[in-house]
C-alpha cells in the first residue's frame, strides 16, 4: 500500500500485553498508520464508539471482556459493524478460530506472530475495505439513476410508461398486464401504438405541449379492443435525458367500483364498528385488536380513558366476546361505595347480620360468578378496600357479612379509571400489589378530539339510536363540520347529550352557541295539552343534570357539589333518567 492510501488509516490495537502493543505499534507507525492502543475491553469499546477506527487488531484473552464479546457488540451497531477485526491470540484450537469468525472477525493470527505477516494482512484487509466502499459508491450511483422509476412503479396508478415521444423506453409490469403485451414487445415501439386511432391526434398534441393535466382516452389491447384509461404525464430526467413519464389508470375498474358504491356505502357502518363500538380511526382499529386479545384470555384488564370515552362499553364488549358471554356482566361504580358498605356490597350479607338485614342479600361477587365484574372508577377505592378486594381475588374466596362459610368466586375482573395510574401510585392512592393484579392487560381509549374522523359516524349512529320508529334526523354538512372540529371535552357522552338535547328541544347547542334552530323530524315545539307538572319538572331536572355534568366533563363528584346534592343522590338521578 502506498503512503497516500495509508495516510489517516487509524488502527486500534487491543491487547493486555505491553510488549505486543509496543511491537505492533512500532511496525504499523513505520508503515504510515495512525495507531491507538487499549489494554482492556471497556477502554477499547469507549475508544471505538468515540471515534471508529479503520481496522482493529484484537486479542481474545482480556482482563474484563473477552475479544469475542467485543466483536459481537461491534456487530450490533451500524457505525461499527463494518470495521475489519483481525484476532490475535495464543489459542490454536480450531473451535476458537471458528468462534472468532462467527463473532464477526475477518481474520485470525496465532501468537507468537510474525510482524511482517501482521502488516501484510492489515494492508490486505484495508485494501479490501477500500475496494468495498468504492463498489458501494458505484452501486449507489446506479441505484440513483433508477430510483425515480422505481418510486413511480410503486405508485398508486396502475400502469407506468416512460417514452421520449417517439419510442417507449420502459414500462412497468402492470402496464404489460393491462395492455396484454410482454415488455419486449413494447420497448422501442411508438407510444401511439397503444392508443385507439380516434385519440392519437389528441395524444400527439399533448405530448408536444408537455401537458401535465390528466385526461381520458381509449387504450388499445393486444386483440384490438379499446378500453377507457386516464393518462397523466410529467417531464422528468431519466438516464441522462428528459423524458415523459406517464401513469395509466384503467377506468374499467373504477366504473365497476362506481356500480358497487351503493352496496359498499350500505355496509360501511358495519365495517366501521366493533360490536356496539363505533369508529374507523387508526386508534379505534388498534382498540378493536386489544379488545379481541383481551376477550381471548382470562387475565385482568384495566381500561384507561377520559370521562365519557366509553370505558364501560369497552368492558361490555370484552365480556360479550369472551367465553363468559352467557354469564352476568356486573358493573360497579366504585365512586359510590363507602368503606362501611364495601363488604356488604361486594360480599353480600346474611339475614340478621345487622339492623335492617331482614333477608339474605347476594353481593357483587355472587352476581358475577363465572361472569365479569366491572369496577368503574376503580381509582376511587380506598387503600383498605383495595386490600379486601385483593385478598378475595387472590384466594378466590370471600365470606358474606354475618356468615362463617367461605364462598368461592371465579369472576373475571375488568377495571376502569379516568385518572393517571402512575400519579395514583406515586400519591399512594393505588397499592402496588393491587395495581399489578388488575394491570395485566391495559387498554387506553383515545379522547374524541384525537379521532375526529369518527365523529360523523357517531353522530349518525346516535341520531339513529335516539329516533326509533321515525326517520333519522339529518344534519347539514356545515353543522357536521362544526361538530367535528369541536374538541368535545366530555367526549362521546357530551356528544350524545348534545344530540339528545337537539332531539328534545330542536336546538343544537355547543358551548352555548346555537348551531341549529330547526325542529328535528317528529318534534313538536308546542307543549302538549296533557302534560303533568311532575313530567315537566322531571324533564327540566334531567336537562339541568345533563348540562352540569357536561360542564364538569363527566366528573360526578364536581357535578354533585355544583348541584348541591350528595354523590349518592346524583347517582340515583343518573340511573332514574338513564343518563350515561
Q: Is the pLDDT of residue 528 over 70?
A: no
What letter would DSSP give residue 193?
Answer: G
pLDDT class of 531 with cuts at 50, 70, 90: very low
Between CA 278 and CA 268 the distance in angstroms is 11
* C-alpha–C-alpha distance, residues 68 and 70, integer Å: 5
Order the strands of the 215-220 sheet from edge to edge: 168-171, 159-163, 241-250, 226-238, 215-220
Instruction: Return the percent helix, strand and coil in the chain, to nearest 5.
Output: 50, 20, 35
428-451 pLDDT, tens digit per residue, is 888 888 888 888 899 999 999 999
- Alpha carbon 28 to its chain centroid, in Å, reads 53
**For residue 261, is pLDDT > 60?**
no
Digit-coded pLDDT (tens) for 464-504: 888 887 777 888 788 888 888 889 999 999 999 999 888 88
Q: Which of 264 and 87 is assigned the larger pLDDT?
A: 87
Nearest residue to 465 (alpha-carbon basis) of 191, 276, 266: 276
Question: Would you list the DSSP string of 132-159?
Answer: HHHHHHHHHHHHHHHHHHHHHHTSSSSE
Predicted local distance difference test score (pLDDT) of residue 269: 45
Give Cα 76 to chain centroid, integer Å: 27
For the beta carbon of residue 572, count every other beta carbon within 10 angstroms. Answer: 13
Q: How distant, in Å, are the alpha carbons of 24, 246, 381, 463 from that of 471? A: 91, 49, 44, 10
CA distance 438 to 456: 34
Residue written as cell 366509553?
A: 310
In DSSP terms, 244 is beta-bridged to 163, 235
More confident of the two residues 354 and 267: 354
List of domains in the chain: 3-134 (3.40.50.2300), 155-254 (3.30.450.20), 273-444 (3.40.50.300), 470-576 (no CATH)
Contact in structure between 358 and 364 (CB atoms under 8 Å): no
**Residue carrying C-alpha cell 441505484:** 143
- CB-CB neighbours of 22 under 10 Å: 13
* Residue predicted with more confidence, 310 or 270: 310
pLDDT at 44: 92
What is the Cα gyration radius of the chain? Answer: 37
Write down how long the chain is: 580
Write the DSSP symbol of residue 449: G
Cell numbers of 297, please?
Answer: 384470555
DSSP 3-state assignment of 239? coil
* Nearest Cα residue to 12 out of 52, 72, 42, 60: 52
Measure the CA–CA gap between 348 and 499, rounded to whole angstroms: 40
Which residues does 546 contact at the CB level (< 8 Å), separation at least 6? Answer: 497, 500, 501, 579
Amino acid at each position: 500500500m502506498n503512503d497516500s492510501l495509508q495516510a489517516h488509516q487509524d488502527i486500534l490495537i487491543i491487547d493486555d500485553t505491553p510488549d505486543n502493543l509496543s511491537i505492533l505499534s512500532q511496525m504499523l507507525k513505520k508503515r504510515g498508520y495512525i495507531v491507538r492502543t487499549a489494554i482492556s475491553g471497556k477502554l477499547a469499546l469507549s475508544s471505538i464508539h468515540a471515534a471508529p477506527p479503520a481496522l482493529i487488531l484484537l486479542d481474545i484473552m482480556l482482563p474484563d471482556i473477552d475479544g469475542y464479546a467485543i466483536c459481537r457488540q461491534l456487530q450490533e451497531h451500524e457505525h461499527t459493524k463494518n470495521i475489519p477485526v483481525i484476532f490475535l491470540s495464543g489459542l490454536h484450537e480450531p473451535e476458537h478460530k471458528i468462534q472468532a469468525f462467527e463473532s464477526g472477525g475477518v481474520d485470525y493470527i496465532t501468537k507468537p506472530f510474525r510482524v511482517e505477516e501482521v502488516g501484510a494482512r492489515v494492508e490486505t484487509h484495508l485494501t479490501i475495505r477500500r475496494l468495498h466502499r468504492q463498489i458501494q459508491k458505484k452501486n449507489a450511483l446506479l441505484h440513483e439513476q433508477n430510483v425515480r422509476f422505481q418510486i413511480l412503479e410503486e405508485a398508486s396508478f396502475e400502469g407506468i410508461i416512460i417514452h421520449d415521444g417517439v419510442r417507449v423506453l420502459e414500462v412497468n409490469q402492470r402496464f404489460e398486464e393491462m395492455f396484454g403485451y410482454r415488455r419486449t414487445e413494447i420497448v422501442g415501439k411508438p407510444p401511439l401504438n397503444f392508443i385507439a386511432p380516434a385519440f392519437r391526434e389528441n395524444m400527439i398534441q399533448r405530448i408536444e405541449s408537455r401537458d401535465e393535466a390528466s385526461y381520458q382516452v381509449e387504450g388499445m389491447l393486444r386483440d384490438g379492443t379499446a378500453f377507457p384509461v386516464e393518462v397523466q404525464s410529467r417531464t422528468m430526467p431519466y438516464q441522462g435525458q428528459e423524458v415523459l413519464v406517464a401513469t395509466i389508470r384503467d377506468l374499467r375498474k373504477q366504473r365497476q367500483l362506481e356500480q358497487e358504491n351503493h352496496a359498499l356505502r350500505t355496509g360501511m357502518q358495519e365495517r366501521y364498528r366493533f360490536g356496539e363500538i363505533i369508529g374507523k380511526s387508526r386508534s379505534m382499529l388498534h382498540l378493536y385488536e386489544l379488545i379481541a386479545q383481551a376477550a381471548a384470555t382470562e387475565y385482568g384488564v384495566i381500561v384507561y380513558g377520559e370521562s365519557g370515552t366509553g370505558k364501560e362499553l369497552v368492558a361490555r364488549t370484552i365480556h360479550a366476546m369472551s367465553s363468559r358471554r352467557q354469564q352476568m356482566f356486573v358493573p360497579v361504580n366504585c365512586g359510590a361505595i363507602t368503606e362501611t358498605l364495601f363488604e356488604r356490597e361486594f360480599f353480600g350479607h346474611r339475614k340478621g347480620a345487622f339492623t335492617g338485614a331482614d333477608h339474605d342479600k347476594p353481593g357483587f361477587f355472587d352476581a358475577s360468578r363465572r361472569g365479569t365484574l366491572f369496577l368503574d372508577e376503580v381509582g376511587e377505592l380506598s387503600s383498605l378496600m383495595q386490600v379486601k378486594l385483593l385478598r378475595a381475588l387472590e384466594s378466590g374466596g370471600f365470606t358474606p357479612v354475618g356468615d362463617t362459610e367461605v364462598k368461592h368466586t371465579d369472576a373475571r375482573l375488568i377495571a376502569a379509571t379516568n385518572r393517571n395510574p402512575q400519579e395514583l401510585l406515586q400519591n399512594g392512592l393505588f397499592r402496588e400489589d393491587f395495581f399489578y393484579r388488575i394491570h395485566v392487560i391495559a387498554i387506553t381509549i383515545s379522547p374524541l378530539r384525537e379521532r375526529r374522523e369518527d365523529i360523523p359516524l357517531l353522530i349518525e349512529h346516535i341520531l339513529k339510536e335516539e329516533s326509533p320508529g321515525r326517520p333519522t334526523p339529518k344534519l347539514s354538512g356545515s353543522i357536521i363540520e362544526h361538530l367535528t372540529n369541536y374538541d368535545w371535552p366530555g367526549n362521546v357522552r357530551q356528544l350524545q347529550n348534545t344530540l339528545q338535547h337537539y332531539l328534545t328541544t330542536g336546538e343544537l347547542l355547543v358551548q352555548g352557541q346555537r348551531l341549529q334552530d330547526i325542529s328535528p323530524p317528529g318534534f313538536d315545539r308546542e307543549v302538549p295539552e296533557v302534560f303533568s307538572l311532575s313530567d315537566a319538572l322531571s324533564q327540566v331536572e334531567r336537562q339541568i343534570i345533563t348540562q352540569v355534568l357536561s360542564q364538569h366533563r363527566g366528573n360526578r363528584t364536581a357535578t354533585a357539589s355544583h348541584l348541591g346534592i350528595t354523590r349518592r343522590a346524583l347517582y340515583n338521578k343518573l340511573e332514574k333518567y338513564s343518563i350515561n
